[in-house]
Amino acid sequence: MRKVKIHITLKEGVLDPQGKAVQNSLQSLEYNTVEDVRVGKYMEVVMEDSDNLEKQIDQMCDQLLANPVIENYSYTIEEVV
Amino acid sequence: MRKVKIHITLKEGVLDPQGKAVQNSLQSLEYNTVEDVRVGKYMEVVMEDSDNLEKQIDQMCDQLLANPVIENYSYTIEEVV
């Protein structure tokens, strides 16, 4: 079994209203050193290992997990003990 | 300047309906090797460095970014070039 840790982030240049809202909230809580906030998604997928695991994960991200038009994804694969 | 990468995940044992929905969608797309999905949040916060940066980030997470009742958080700090 493998645990796949997937990060999905907005591409550079894509507006992030959620991040902006978090940034404003932090600043109104007097965290004035905060300059920028970007919000993304993080998923942990536990799945069986296979020879074409990476290809399978790429397909999953492109088809369902990420929106390739505005989002990038990256992942790391760990062994589950 | 520092870039703080924050991961917010549901605590073990807390039900994750969003993760379950993603899991079901993946399985209906014939990704039958998927056993479990947990969905969390990922944030990148760019902020000025300070002596008590870690304390500040802990406070930000406890006050606003995470719900300490049901969520765990972890973070890494990187230098912004």
The amino acid occupying position B15 is L
Which chain A residues are closer than 8 Å to B45 by Cβ?
Answer: 26, 34, 36-37
Q: In the 3-class helix/strand/coil scheme, how is A49-63 assigned residue by residue?
A: CCCCHHHHHHHHHHH
The percent of residues above 90 in pLDDT, for chain A, comes to 98
Q: Which residues contact A29 (CB under 8 A, 6 or more apart)?
A: B60, B63, B64
Rounded average pLDDT over A23-28: 96
Class of domain A2-79: alpha beta
At B36-76, the pLDDT tens digits run: 999 999 999 999 999 999 999 999 999 999 999 999 999 99
> What's the pLDDT score for residue A78?
96
- At A81, the pLDDT band (50, 70, 90 cuts) reads confident
Place of tokens 């290992």: A49
Chain A CB within 8 Å of residue B47 CB: yes
Contact A56 B9 (CB under 8 A): no
Residue-level pLDDT at B27: 95
Cross-chain residue pair B44–A37, CB shorter than 8 Å: yes
**CA dihedral of residues B39, A65, A35, B8 (deg, nearest 10):** 10
Facing residue for A34 by CB, picked from B8, B22, B45? B45
Nearest of A3, A44, A46 to residue B8 by alpha carbon: A44
Average pLDDT, chain A: 96
pLDDT for A71 beyond 90:
yes
pLDDT of amino acid B81: 81
User: How does pLDDT run across B23-36, given as a tens digit for each residue?
Assistant: 999 999 999 999 99
Q: Has the ipTM of the complex gone over 0.95?
A: no
Nearest-angstrom CA–CA distance, B10 and B1: 29
> What is d(CA B41, CA B37) in angstroms, rounded to the nearest whole number?
13
Kindly tell me if the per-residue pLDDT of A23 is higher than 90. Answer: yes
Average pLDDT of the segment spanning A54-73: 96
CB contact under 8 A, A56 and B33: yes
